[in-house]
Each structure stands twice: as structure tokens, then as C-alpha cells.
Amino acid sequence: MPRNDKSIAHECLLHQKYLADSYTGMARETACDSLFSDVMKICQEELQANHQIFNFMNQQGWYQVQNADQTQISKAQSQVQQMQTMM
């Protein structure tokens, strides 16, 4: 498969998602406060890189998102509120 900018960006985005998920998991499992702090800093950096790649792909038209209508927004808000009351 020929490599082009779109496929490289897509691969980078997948990699960033994996890293962010991995660091999030590591942060959840650590009992050491200083390690937790370090991992969270790295995780934040990975999430920022993820966001930048996403924005680049979106600007290029390679990663399209649809705006939610008011019904979808209300449904999501209701689900979040239900989860919060369960906690």
C-alpha cells in the first residue's frame, strides 16, 4: 500500500490514541504519587498531540465529524446526569 500524507496522519492518530489509553491505564493503577504525577503529565502531552493530529486531519478533510443535533445533545446530557446520580 502506498504511503501518503493521509495514511501517515491516520497511523499517527491511532498511535497517539493508543499511547493516551496506555498512560491513562497506568495512572489508574499506580500507588506512587510522584509516578502518578509524572504519568499524568505525559498523558496530557499525548492527548495534546492527539488533538493536534485530529485538528490537522479535520482541516484536510480526512477526518470528518458531524455536529450533533439538539436531540442528540439532550440525550447525551441526560445519560451523563444519570451516571452522576448513580455514583
Q: pLDDT digits over 29-86, tens only?
A: 999 999 999 999 999 999 999 999 999 999 999 998 888 999 999 999 999 999 999 8
Nearest in space to 16 (alpha carbons), one of 40, 43, 37: 43
Assign 2 a pLDDT band (cuts: 50, 70, 90).
Answer: confident
Instruction: Spell out the domain ranges in the chain.
Output: 5-65
pLDDT category of residue 26 using cuts at 50, 70 and 90: very high
